[in-house]
Structure 1
């Protein structure tokens, strides 16, 4: 290595050598230079370590995470690893150089001082020994976005924690704390304080100058077919990164180290250049980041959220109460009787007990959380609430009555929110004396697990109330999307089309079992018929009753659901619906209506999948065109996080882009015979003629 190259490396990394000839390396910059390719940057780090190891007097090397902040911006990956990029040989060379470090017979230790994920974590695995301070987080969350880590992760991880644990870690997107990482073998030693790592590392090097853990000789377990099947059942073959990890771990035992590196590099670049990961990152990473950014709240000067009143202690109200108490907010949980209100608080107790058993919560924290929830039947206890959220049954009269009863107890600077699935906010606001401070906040059940909140502006809702609602959602650690008033708003509306299409296909004589199977194969969380049973067919009829009008397809679905309810087939709670439920075994079997013969012209599985995906995406465009939503990204976030749309698409508008708009429009027009839900707006046809895309990379093209 010439002096110029070493000088360049020294400009990017801080190098320090003590009098015992131990070299410590750390990045100089706090951010990764955007103009420098990630591989080039890491090559400089790897060359620097290699150069230092070759110095005869080097006793050992300690390095801090070479990637600043312990993570990489995904946008840099997509921008730098383009299809025309010939980085495969450079990337392979990088990992081969790392694998040659052990030939020096000198100890190399990586020291963690911050949370570390993704590629940054992969670089820390290159060391022979790893030391971390406590209370840190580690993992490979990029699997949630259809990616996998690469950079030697499938080479080094199995040697440290085994193949089975590697499969789980690289495919499930979960983070682990320092203690868990230590138990698994990802971390070799823990320190109490952040600055103790370097001291411990130096002691270890001096004590073990020639002791290099040999990763290759450790016994590596074989990934069982059951473990692979379990992962594939969850991923359904829809996530390119997970597919790649499974393939690499299957091949690992029969591959030489060089072959394993070549295979990982090849698949890494293939996955990175597929469209699905970019769509998922755009929605589930950057879109969510933007939705939760406090910078969205521009006009609000002062709003203190110290006390929330919640009307209705059912599942929804109880869940909101728990989330508010967990956020440190005082909660008044009101119901008709104190017994019902206490039953609602008991839900929070159950959730706390689970967290207590998992060690996530301690006794003191549980007591503090529960002490913030006051169950009551007295309306006066709501006095001084900065926000009152109504979460009673979906009935106009009931909601109007509780609104009028409780509004006098709202704080002067407070606002009133209705948690409703589909009732128009503008109409509900008529019960309030000040419709400007009335808004919709549609939470999703179970509230403690569902991150989305759909914030619905009525025609009179003012900007300051919207920002108060956004502030509340962010305080509850939720992901808010802003929508405007209309039947079903956004998420419920497009979801009703999913359910409608399921019923429509049943009436066409398509096998109910095939419909359900293909819905799951398409990437939906649950099939439409199972959903209808869960929410109850009676409730679905009640929702249809709230619609101002029903088109012919909806009327057919309504009539069919009415007949099923009249026959006692009301859904899961009644034991029969689209499924038959065995209460003892808790198993269910699909019901085949003898009055509807299975059609001989059964649609192909791919057509069933397209109909279920397309019908929601088409109505999402109507929502965008009609001003129900302002931005495609809100539709994408809402569709995935709110109603379980196929996440590999990046959401409803991502799905249209993946299909391409001309093909999407042509297929929707071909489905027109199945009902009015397939009417294609003229404006969408015009966009298709221009080959319009809703996004270019991470940027929206919608104005």
Structure 2
């Protein structure tokens, strides 16, 4: 044994080849923490000190090669000054450069994922071999930074600047066939042949068949692009990527600038350019929030995994109510491999649900993700029925009928008599109390909420709602089924609107109050879209549907009359009263026309503008900052209340639910991170100033005041 550490070992075989194995103890995956990087430096020093070594192979003893840097260290690391971050980067560059400069050939045997720092490690070796299921990528821009351990320098020199820009700016995980095509790897071989193929590379290099020194020369030199080619590659891509990333995500364009600035330089100078840009990005609020988002996502997945680990798998599901929503649920279940019965009382509703599923599978086929046979196989997982004949074998039933408590209650009581004593019933309700719906059930412990968001196939969140009598087993089974469907489940407790809609409707309340005071709703939309929302509140209401919004608002007003009930008529009610339901009938706050792809495109509508004037009580001009405050404070305050009321368990789950469920701007980190970023005391002062004019919807809670007074934050790592 040449070296033995906690994460890395180096052994020597009979052919004078050293094998460096990544195998981080007590972890399921390999990560490059500060301690592991230190070990890598020590291991390479030991290899250099070993006489007679003729080659080095890097491999992993785990199912993945290296998933990247240890992101849990990022907030602390990026909180240091730029000089310290720069010093850390230089240290890592020294280690990776040392690997690249060893006096004999090197190869990486890549299994599973080699991402971020893991990708940068393998780029430092001369050769790379991977298995067919492995993936390589540099996803750092998704965290608001650029690759900082040589990725912006080595990848363009290995696969070309245009390919490297696509990989880095997109943050993609790239499959083996794509890696081989662009030259990121030298061979793709079955897992059983991986090490043999890697050792063969070293043997051929030592025999002179493969020129490893020429490989190094290419990686150490300037990019082979003339000035015209550079202009074509970099300037064109900067414009395209800036358009796709948007103004709030600077890292993808910054990465292109790094590659461009380093294009004419050797390794040392190019790495210095990369390090400077990394430090710049690491100190941004966007990076801080996106790293926080990643950590929050890990919290949510860990909690979901704990629930699911205690559940019996759902082998057969059913959905009650076909149509668009039922069809979407059936599609999602079938596409992920869980057979599902789709029941309705009407043949035409069944056909509508099947049409929705066929359409979605057809889109997968058109993108090359499914073959014709694959579509047929997936569709076979959906069994339409007009009766309960096969329901005795169902593990979990999702009720997705009309959002009416009497109808839902009747359907749930009916299906309970048709299923086994152990079958879980779940209601896809967006607002109705789960405790209330359970009142007429014989086995309320087997019942919970399972709130999907529309469109089902796109929206990642599923709220799993625990009623007063819901058992842990019911929650666990529903979470496990949501995960099996490829969704992110978040468990919440029962209340009107649960978590997401309870928080969303104060946001709409803020919108109604703004319009009442004279704000132009089209300007409000533009300000909030500029703030980072995918669509402004008026546009969002049109997408949600005015009938749905009026119904949900009534539920909220009944549940929280002190702050959500309104005596005055709102602009939302005016739209509903005038049969302007939004996109579903092509007229709401906007009118809708079909674009070339047949999708609704909003256009300004004078009729809507005139109707809104009915609710305007004064004509005031609002600055962008005032609009943002009046929209965001009630949303953030209700998130605080949900946390204090134990509707949601942690700040991480609350923030992720808003990001996954209603498109809260990810680069802002969530409602509670938004408060932390502003400063809790500053937020309380802002809320108090608005509450004086606008009432309890804006008023801070006693708990938040206490936090402000004691200097506490929602996240311990808050800036």
TM range (shorter): 0.7 to 0.9
- Residue in 2 that maps onto 1:172: 170
Residue 424 of structure 2 aligns to a residue whose secondary structure is strand
Q: Distance in 1 between matches of 2:267 and 2:419?
A: 67
- 1:380 pairs with 368, 383, 389, which one? 389
- 8 Å Cα contact 1:45/1:66 also seen in 2: no
Q: Distance in 2 between matches of 1:643 and 1:252?
A: 40
Residue 486 of structure 1 aligns to a residue whose secondary structure is coil
- Residue in 2 that maps onto 1:688: 708
- Residue in 2 that maps onto 1:656: 675
Q: Distance in 1 between matches of 2:264 and 2:71?
A: 32
TM-score by length of 2: 0.86
Q: Aligned-pair distance for 1:678? A: 0.8
Q: Distance in 2 between matches of 1:310 and 1:102?
A: 57
Q: Aligned-pair distance for 1:388? A: 1.3
- 8 Å Cα contact 1:385/1:410 also seen in 2: yes
- Residue in 2 that maps onto 1:70: 66
- Residue in 1 that maps onto 2:631: 612
- 1:590 pairs with 604, 618, 625, which one? 604
Name structure 1 gaps, 5 residues minimum.
Answer: 1-5
User: Is the deviation greater in 522-531 or in 161-170?
Assistant: 161-170
Q: Aligned-pair distance for 1:278? A: 4.8
- 8 Å Cα contact 2:223/2:263 also seen in 1: no
Matches within 5 A, 1:124-523: 124-193=122-191, 194-205=194-205, 206=207, 207-209=209-211, 212-213=214-215, 214-215=218-219, 216-219=222-225, 221-222=230-231, 223-225=233-235, 227-239=237-249, 241-242=251-252, 244-253=254-263, 257-274=267-284, 276-288=286-298, 290-293=300-303, 296-297=306-307, 300=310, 303-523=312-532
- 8 Å Cα contact 1:132/1:178 also seen in 2: yes
Residue 481 of structure 1 aligns to a residue whose secondary structure is strand
User: Is the deviation greater in 268-277 or in 348-357?
Assistant: 268-277
Matches within 5 A, 1:56-67: 61-64=56-59
Instruction: Work out whether 1:559 is the aligned partner of 2:570.
Output: yes
Q: Distance in 1 between matches of 2:361 and 2:305?
A: 32
- 8 Å Cα contact 1:503/1:529 also seen in 2: no
What are the superposed Cα offsets for residues 331-385 of structure 1, whole Å, 9 maximum, x if unpaired? 1101122342133133333333333344433455433322221101113332332
Q: Aligned-pair distance for 1:114? A: 2.8
- 8 Å Cα contact 2:491/2:648 also seen in 1: yes
- Residue in 1 that maps onto 2:649: 630
Q: Distance in 2 between matches of 1:59 and 1:656?
A: 57
- Residue in 2 that maps onto 1:3: none
User: Is the deviation greater in 568-577 or in 589-598?
Assistant: 589-598
- 8 Å Cα contact 1:46/1:94 also seen in 2: no
User: Is the deviation greater in 271-280 or in 642-651?
Assistant: 271-280
Q: Distance in 1 between matches of 2:308 and 2:56?
A: 49
- 8 Å Cα contact 1:65/1:110 also seen in 2: no
Structure 1 residues 284 and 641, CA gap change in structure 2 (3 angstroms): farther
Structure 1 residues 258 and 502, CA gap change in structure 2 (3 angstroms): farther
- 8 Å Cα contact 1:581/1:587 also seen in 2: yes
Structure 1 residues 96 and 283, CA gap change in structure 2 (3 angstroms): closer
- 8 Å Cα contact 2:339/2:381 also seen in 1: yes
- 8 Å Cα contact 1:133/1:178 also seen in 2: yes
TM-score by length of 1: 0.87
Q: Aligned-pair distance for 1:543? A: 2.0
Residue 412 of structure 1 aligns to a residue whose secondary structure is coil
Q: Distance in 1 between matches of 2:390 and 2:314?
A: 16
Residue 329 of structure 1 aligns to a residue whose secondary structure is coil
Q: Aligned-pair distance for 1:295? A: 5.5
Report how many aligned residue pairs link the two structures.
689
- 8 Å Cα contact 1:321/1:333 also seen in 2: yes
- 8 Å Cα contact 2:336/2:485 also seen in 1: yes
User: Is the deviation greater in 163-172 or in 215-224?
Assistant: 215-224
- 8 Å Cα contact 1:9/1:44 also seen in 2: no
Residue 711 of structure 2 aligns to a residue whose secondary structure is coil
User: Is the deviation greater in 380-389 or in 416-425?
Assistant: 380-389
Q: Aligned-pair distance for 1:591? A: 4.0
Structure 1 residues 339 and 288, CA gap change in structure 2 (3 angstroms): farther
Structure 1 residues 312 and 299, CA gap change in structure 2 (3 angstroms): same
User: Is the deviation greater in 628-637 or in 282-291?
Assistant: 282-291
Q: Distance in 1 between matches of 2:443 and 2:584?
A: 40
- 8 Å Cα contact 1:481/1:638 also seen in 2: yes
User: Is the deviation greater in 98-107 or in 330-339?
Assistant: 98-107
Name structure 2 gaps, 5 residues minimum.
Answer: none
Q: Distance in 2 between matches of 1:11 and 1:236?
A: 39
- 8 Å Cα contact 1:284/1:637 also seen in 2: no
